[in-house]
């Protein structure tokens, strides 16, 4: 490490985007500031799928950082969201992951809310037998959980607590927006859900998602079965504000290829017991067989061949996080395509042939930096900027993440 970076006191930030101080993944005060500035700040946050709340009264609970949220379909058909916190004593209003009803009632003292989160009744408001009760000047409209501004894009529901911030499309940027529309271009269906707990700071996972050149090195399944390599066409785009990124890998050319030589797993004679696992069809009218897209701070869209999924990052403290996975198909999938998606979904997830390592490597970093608060990561692959490139041998999108993080954190 250069001496200028080494001499920085803990808590200071190096200039530029090519050094990431390790204390940033371990500091409890940073985590508290992130909740206020990032998760409750001017950004947009993935909440759920539009199809999760198809009818009036349907709801789903979710998180924005540490803040619990209810998403519901209101009486007029609008999708709304509000903080999952009773205005009385702070208990959760809604305890279930999902369901349907006419309204919501807190189990603690039975304060009741409508589908938009407005307080509509208070138990014993007038007291009992003329005694007790709320004061005469108590007004229900003055009490209630915080409301979110919501929008729906490509079947995804996003929310923000900032009423006058940029709209979602401007936040993402036009280039990456095209890549989002590319995948989510028709009605979705959920074909699987699960939650994975990871032993690392949430930022380490998002960095991993945006790290476009580790795949051929960390994921030996890719090289063993010759799925992807950096010599294939593709590249990475990063929005001007660093908020969004999309990396793409083009299908491998036909014929012999020696570019896997020297990789950590160079086939070594391994074969799949079920070769149909590698069957895939081109369904997006292009030559892209792998696309990973992210939106700061915690949304990821994956397309690996025909395996589609959205992932949501939920911080659980300085060194822990939950990763919510939702596997997707399209409503018009043929039985054959649906079966193909389900089989290919074994590529990703906690035990995925490809992404299993992603769930472990963040923990390796978290453990490795335990005594390195005065040190910093080096993020120089592909230069020093957060601009897109026609190669995946770059850390431009990682630098884009930190560009967005620093802007929202005021660093």
Widest CA span in the chain: 88
Q: Is 406 left (phi over 0), alpha (psi -120 to 50) or beta?
A: alpha
Q: Rounded distance, CA 342 to CA 30, Å?
A: 39
Q: What does the pLDDT profile of the chain (411 residues) look like in tens digits?
A: 455 555 556 666 888 999 999 999 999 999 999 999 999 999 999 999 999 999 999 999 999 999 999 999 999 999 999 999 999 999 999 999 999 999 999 999 999 999 999 999 999 999 999 899 999 999 999 999 999 999 999 999 999 999 998 999 999 999 999 999 999 999 999 999 999 999 999 999 999 999 988 777 777 777 777 666 666 778 999 999 999 999 998 877 655 444 444 444 455 677 778 878 788 899 998 989 899 999 999 999 999 999 999 999 999 999 999 999 999 999 999 999 999 999 999 888 888 888 888 888 999 999 999 999 999 999 999 999 999 988 888 999 999 999 999 999 998
The answer to whether the beta carbons of residues 370 and 209 sit under 8 Å apart is: no
End-to-end CA distance of the chain: 22
Task: Please name each of the domains of the chain with its CATH number.
Answer: 45-153 (2.102.10.10), 173-409 (3.90.380.10)
- Residue appearing with tokens 């409508």: 114
The answer to whether the beta carbons of residues 123 and 107 sit under 8 Å apart is: no
* Number of Cβ within a 10 Å radius of residue 37: 18
* Per-residue pLDDT at 10: 60
pTM of the model: 0.92
What DSSP assignment string belongs to 216-242?
A: HHH-HHHHHTT---TTSSEEEEE-TTS
């Amino acid at each position: 490490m250069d001496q200028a970076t080494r001499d920085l006191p803990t808590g200071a930030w190096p200039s530029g985007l090519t050094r990431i101080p390790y204390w940033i993944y371990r500091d409890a005060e940073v985590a508290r500031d992130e909740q206020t500035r990032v998760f409750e700040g001017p950004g947009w946050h993935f909440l759920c799928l539009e199809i999760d709340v198809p009818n009036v009264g349907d709801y789903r609970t979710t998180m924005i950082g540490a803040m619990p949220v209810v998403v519901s379909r209101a009486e007029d058909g609008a999708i709304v969201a509000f903080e999952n916190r009773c205005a009385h004593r702070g208990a959760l209003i809604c305890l279930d992951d999902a369901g349907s009803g006419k309204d919501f009632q807190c189990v603690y003292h039975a304060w009741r809310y409508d589908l938009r989160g407005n307080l509509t009744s208070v138990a014993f408001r007038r007291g009992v037998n003329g005694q007790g009760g709320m004061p005469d000047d108590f007004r229900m409209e003055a009490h209630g959980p915080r409301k979110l501004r919501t929008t729906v894009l490509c079947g995804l529901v996003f929310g923000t607590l900032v009423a006058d911030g940029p709209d979602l499309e401007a936040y993402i940027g036009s280039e990456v927006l095209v890549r989002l529309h590319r995948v989510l271009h028709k009605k979705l269906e959920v074909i699987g859900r699960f939650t994975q707990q990871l032993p690392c700071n949430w930022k380490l996972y998002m960095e991993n998602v945006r790290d476009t050149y580790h795949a051929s090195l960390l994921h030996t399944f890719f090289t063993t079965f010759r799925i992807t390599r950096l010599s294939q066409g593709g590249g990475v785009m990063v929005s001007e504000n660093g908020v969004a990124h999309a990396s793409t890998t083009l299908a491998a050319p036909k014929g012999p290829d020696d570019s896997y030589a020297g990789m950590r797993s160079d086939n070594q004679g391994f074969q799949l017991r079920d070769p149909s696992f590698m069957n895939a069809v081109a369904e997006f009218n292009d030559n892209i067989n792998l696309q990973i897209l992210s939106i700061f701070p915690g949304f990821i869209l994956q397309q690996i061949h025909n395996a589609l999924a959205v992932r949501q990052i939920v911080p659980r403290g300085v060194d822990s996080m939950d990763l919510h996975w939702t596997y997707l198909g399209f409503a018009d999938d043929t039985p054959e395509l649906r079966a193909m998606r389900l089989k290919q979904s074994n590529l990703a997830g906690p035990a995925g042939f490809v992404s299993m390592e992603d769930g472990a490597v963040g923990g390796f970093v978290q453990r490795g930096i335990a005594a390195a608060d005065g040190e910093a990561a080096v993020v120089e692959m592909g230069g020093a900027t957060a601009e897109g490139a026609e190669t995946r041998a770059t850390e431009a999108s990682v630098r884009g993440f930190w560009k967005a993080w620093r802007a929202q954190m005021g660093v």
